[in-house]
């Protein structure tokens, strides 16, 4: 089973690509980390209790106003209030974001691995891991291909975000963009995967500064490339021969780890030369 990592940054069009991949003619299973992140902090979950315990005493508007009848396990989290606590680049927000991530990420990973196992047993030829922080969380090492949805012009990203979420101030919008890193760096990492592996489907950048039609054309071309490099017979063989599947997965993991080591070493050399 091929794992296709899908990443980008806020308001670059990643969700649009995810929807395209899930719909005909592709019909791929999409494991959405954002959706899982919401599920693992719903009232009554362990993640919810930890977030309320840490953030509740200093965030008066952390919880929405509800009644026991409408929310028997407790009032839902007020995501906008939590976002104001963790999005930004000052030391306090970075610390709080690290705490939130330490609560949410392990639970999301566990849910993700369960979904992957189910997809494998169901005979899926490919599954999409839709993860905004794919590289940062090091989940890219699991993926045979990575798609990065990016924009060349930062102003396009900011304009889309504020059009989508008009309640955000300019500062709030900028903080949310900064919290997910520069999407052009993610595009460079996708290109680095190709340079290291010598195949053009290991890292594909979908530039989304234009309209949806242009994006759809890029998605179609990318999937055609991936299908050509990963034919159905190969995935059928891996399904009926689990030891071979495990060996291929282990090799992919090792190879991607080596790519990341070279990437970080090169980044250190670049910083040293500044």
Query: Strand pairing partners for 206?
Result: 149
Here the tokens at position 116 are: 């992957």
Q: Within 10 Å of residue 159's Cβ, how many Cβ atoms?
A: 13
**Cα–Cα distance list, 160 to 4, 51, 181, 210 (Å):** 25, 30, 17, 12
C-alpha 200/C-alpha 35 separation (Å) is: 30
Please state, in angstroms and rounded to a whole number, the distance separating the CA atoms of residues 168 and 83. Answer: 11
Q: Which residue has the tokens 């919401």?
A: 38
Give every strand in the sheet of 203-207, ordered side by side.
Answer: 29-32, 126-130, 2-8, 145-150, 203-207
Grouping H, G, I as helix, E, B as strand and the rest as coil, residue 137 is coil
Q: Extract the tokens encoding 165.
A: 């979420």
Beta strand 2-8 with 29-32 is unpaired
Which residue stretches of the chain are H helix? 14-22, 33-39, 46-55, 79-86, 91-121, 154-164, 170-179, 183-197, 212-229, 232-240, 242-272
pLDDT at 198: 61
Q: Report yes or no: 28 and 126 within 8 Å, Cβ to Cβ.
A: yes
Q: Which domains does the chain carry? A: 1-28+126-268 (3.40.50.300), 36-123 (3.40.50.300)
| pLDDT at residue 146, rounded to an integer | 96
Residue 159: predicted pLDDT: 86
pLDDT at 235: 83
CB 5 within 8 A of CB 127: no
Q: Which residues partner with 130 through β-bridges?
A: 6, 32
Dump the DSSP string for 27-84: --EEEEHHHHHHHTTSTTSHHHHHHHHHHGGG-TTSB----TTT-TT-PPB-HHHHHH
From first to last of its 274 residues, what are the pLDDT tens digits of the chain? 899 999 999 899 999 999 999 999 999 999 999 999 999 999 999 999 999 999 999 888 898 877 676 677 788 998 888 988 888 778 888 899 999 999 999 999 999 999 999 998 888 889 999 998 899 889 999 999 999 999 998 888 888 888 888 888 888 888 888 777 789 999 999 999 987 666 778 999 999 999 999 999 999 999 999 999 888 788 888 888 888 988 999 999 999 999 999 999 989 898 888 6
Residue 149 DSSP label: E
pTM of the model: 0.85
- Whether the upstream peptide bond of residue 200 has omega within 30° of 0, thus cis, is no
């Amino acid at each position: 089973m091929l794992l296709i990592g899908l990443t980008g940054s806020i308001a670059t069009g990643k969700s649009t690509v995810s929807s395209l991949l899930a719909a005909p003619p592709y019909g791929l299973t999409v494991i959405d980390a954002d959706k899982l992140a919401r599920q693992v902090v719903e009232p009554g979950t362990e993640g919810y209790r930890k977030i309320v315990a840490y953030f509740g005493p200093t965030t008066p508007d952390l919880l929405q106003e509800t009644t026991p009848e409408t929310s028997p396990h407790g009032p839902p989290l007020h995501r906008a209030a939590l976002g104001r606590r963790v999005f930004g680049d000052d030391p306090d927000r970075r610390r709080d974001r690290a705490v939130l991530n330490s609560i949410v990420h392990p639970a999301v990973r566990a849910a993700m691995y369960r979904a992957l196992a189910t997809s494998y047993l169901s005979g899926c030829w490919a599954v999409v891991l839709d993860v905004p922080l794919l590289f940062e969380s090091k989940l890219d090492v699991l993926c045979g291909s990575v798609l990065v949805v990016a924009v060349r012009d930062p102003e396009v990203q900011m304009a889309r975000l504020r059009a989508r979420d008009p309640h955000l101030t300019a500062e709030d919008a900028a903080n949310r963009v900064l919290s997910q890193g520069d999407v052009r760096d993610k595009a460079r990492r996708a290109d680095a995967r190709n340079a290291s592996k010598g195949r053009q489907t290991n890292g594909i950048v979908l530039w989304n500064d234009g309209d949806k039609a242009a994006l759809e054309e890029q998605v179609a071309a990318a999937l055609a490339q991936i299908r050509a490099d990963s034919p159905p017979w190969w995935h059928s063989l891996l399904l009926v021969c689990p030891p071979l599947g495990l060996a291929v997965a282990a090799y992919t993991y090792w190879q991607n780890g080596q790519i990341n080591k070279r990437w970080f070493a090169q980044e250190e050399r670049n910083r040293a030369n500044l």
